[in-house]
Structure 1
């Protein structure tokens, strides 16, 4: 029977440990990067980290925090390139994904911090990307072997979905154009001040250190099937697929069957391990080796996230 992977836990030796003790613990680890690569994800709990003490911990775990440029999920940006986790209604599941896997560049690490745990539910599921890939039917893996083509329609201030100003964290059209040119995307400004962006990306990738091949795309999240039959039907009446805020197809433009993306979504969740939150917990993940999501919850929940290269 195949061993079930789970994150490696770092806990204190005493119940009254503080963030200072965690800082010293992390400094004593010869190579945090190697520890993360070996274990794929680290859960750090019991050190009573607060938002005020979070910065000192992040300086060790995320030495170069990145802005969430070209990110497609709704978030609130806080100080120091720290963001709220995806602001999505509490009753819904967020399916498994690797952050910015649809882009030409993505963060290598993500750090989550639980400032307030939900009344119930709200776990962050994490999935081993190798296991996720292997769980898919050969027919699905073969269909995705040539990659996927993502298309975004970002409005200029009014419309469905995110604006390009929110997405790229700038009002400067030249900066957006330069970013997209460097990424090799096909793009054009649209009447009304919006922009359409298309780019073809692989459906899998290999880890730069271990060489492991992992499922690495967000086709299910960009596909109308992920919206549910009723919502997808309503949107189809309002606009054609190419006008949706985001859509996905195979590189030649042919549609991806609903069943393929639903299988990828469901098997990612089926193979995931839930990280249940307590206030002050941290979760550090390798963003290539591990996908993440969110379980539904009740009550208020506040989890912050930061990213690094």
Structure 2
């Protein structure tokens, strides 16, 4: 896919922010050590609002104690309702991280920013150290916004609309049952009504849904800082790469893709804008490397996250909270 729009702007060359790294400081490790350090540092909510992301190193938290640590950091754990990424639910609203092939980069995004409800915090736990690579990049959403060309920021100021085609069990992408973690259509429709979606059920049992206009930016509920907060590039075929986009275009017309996005008025978003957004997000990010037993919690509005390619094994678990 291509268009004639081009974006030229100065590359991002400096790092103005990074997560706060917390270590045992000679105290106990494991879940007890995390508890003690949090007690010394003050209210976790205040700390997270100030620092945007917290990385817990050298605590060597065993996997059997993950629930205990989540109770400290996630006050109201949520399911992955309306999620688009392939994951495995492990119980207790704990999931594997996105199960995309290990050679792929997962671009920056704030979780569920395309929906009408999203988690305030995300929790990550490294259960298996990657063989190589596999960092979780984290980006300051305000800095990502500032790094975008003025033309792009202006174009997105009116908001965007997301469309999803969710099959009933066979097809590209996720089914509506996987997306909403239910077999009950009434539950799905209650969610869609609450989010002011338009939708219809297809004769083959699939679901087509379009969001109302969603903002491209939001203001953080505590700090008031404006941040880039959408997943336009994840819903747009240009971000899949030219070869994949061409293959999809041969199989399905744009309106039948598993997911797509337009400007608020229904007009197409230029490929160049999407690639610019994608690249700027990764350029502004700070990589958080993983070792077994490490933890991270991020403010899902203040920051975006992704995944770098990796080799060997990598097992990172994820949970979310309101």
User: Which bracket does the TM-score occupy, shorter chain normalised?
Assistant: over 0.9
Contact in 2 for aligned 1:15/1:46 (Cα 8 Å) = no
Aligned positions of 1:114-263 closer than 5 A: 114-199=126-211, 200-263=213-276
**Quick one: distance in 1 between partners of 2:114 and 2:189?**
18
Please report how far the alpha carbon of residue 254 of structure 1 lies from its aligned counterpart in structure 2 after TM superposition.
Answer: 0.6
Instruction: Please identify, of 140-149 and 14-23, the stretch whose mean Cα deviation from structure 2 is larger.
Output: 14-23
Aligned residue number for residue 49 of structure 1: 61
Q: In the TM superposition, what whole-angstrom CA distance separates every residue of 1:220-256 from its partner, at most 9, and x where no partner exists?
A: 1110101111111111111111100000111111100
**Quick one: distance in 2 between partners of 1:196 and 1:15?**
53
Aligned residue number for residue 6 of structure 2: none
**Quick one: distance in 1 between partners of 2:40 and 2:70?**
16
Q: In structure 2, the residue corresponding to 1:226 is in which secondary structure? A: helix
| CA RMSD, 1 decimal | 1.3
Q: In structure 2, the residue corresponding to 1:180 is in which secondary structure? A: helix
Q: Is 1:40 the counterpart of 2:52 in the alignment?
A: yes
**Quick one: distance in 2 between partners of 1:164 and 1:301?**
28
Contact in 2 for aligned 1:130/1:212 (Cα 8 Å) = yes
**Quick one: distance in 2 between partners of 1:277 and 1:217?**
26
Match of 1:83 among 82, 85, 95: 95
Q: In the TM superposition, what whole-angstrom CA distance separates every residue of 1:203-233 from its partner, at most 9, and x where no partner exists?
A: 0000001000000011111101011111111
Contact in 1 for aligned 2:160/2:216 (Cα 8 Å) = yes
Match of 1:293 among 306, 311, 316: 306
Contact in 2 for aligned 1:76/1:84 (Cα 8 Å) = yes
Q: In structure 1, the residue corresponding to 2:84 is in which secondary structure? A: coil
Instruction: Please identify, of 16-25 and 90-99, the stretch whose mean Cα deviation from structure 2 is larger.
Output: 16-25
Match of 2:294 among 270, 281, 295: 281
Aligned positions of 1:48-67 closer than 5 A: 48-67=60-79
Contact in 1 for aligned 2:15/2:284 (Cα 8 Å) = no
Q: In structure 2, the residue corresponding to 1:53 is in which secondary structure? A: helix
Instruction: Please identify, of 66-75 and 19-28, the stretch whose mean Cα deviation from structure 2 is larger.
Output: 19-28
Match of 1:25 among 8, 25, 37: 37
TM-score normalised by structure 1 residue count: 0.98
Instruction: Please identify, of 252-261 and 13-22, the stretch whose mean Cα deviation from structure 2 is larger.
Output: 13-22
Contact in 1 for aligned 2:27/2:33 (Cα 8 Å) = no
Q: Is 1:96 the counterpart of 2:112 in the alignment?
A: no
Number of positions where the alignment pairs a residue of Structure 1 with one of Structure 2: 309
**Quick one: distance in 1 between partners of 2:311 and 2:28?**
29
Please report how far the alpha carbon of residue 16 of structure 1 lies from its aligned counterpart in structure 2 after TM superposition.
Answer: 6.5
Q: In structure 1, the residue corresponding to 2:78 is in which secondary structure? A: coil
Q: 1:83 to 1:257 in 2, by over 3 A?
A: same
Q: In structure 1, the residue corresponding to 2:275 is in which secondary structure? A: helix
Q: Which runs of 5+ in 1 are unaligned?
A: none
Contact in 1 for aligned 2:216/2:228 (Cα 8 Å) = yes
Q: In structure 2, the residue corresponding to 1:106 is in which secondary structure? A: coil
Please report how far the alpha carbon of residue 31 of structure 1 lies from its aligned counterpart in structure 2 after TM superposition.
Answer: 1.0
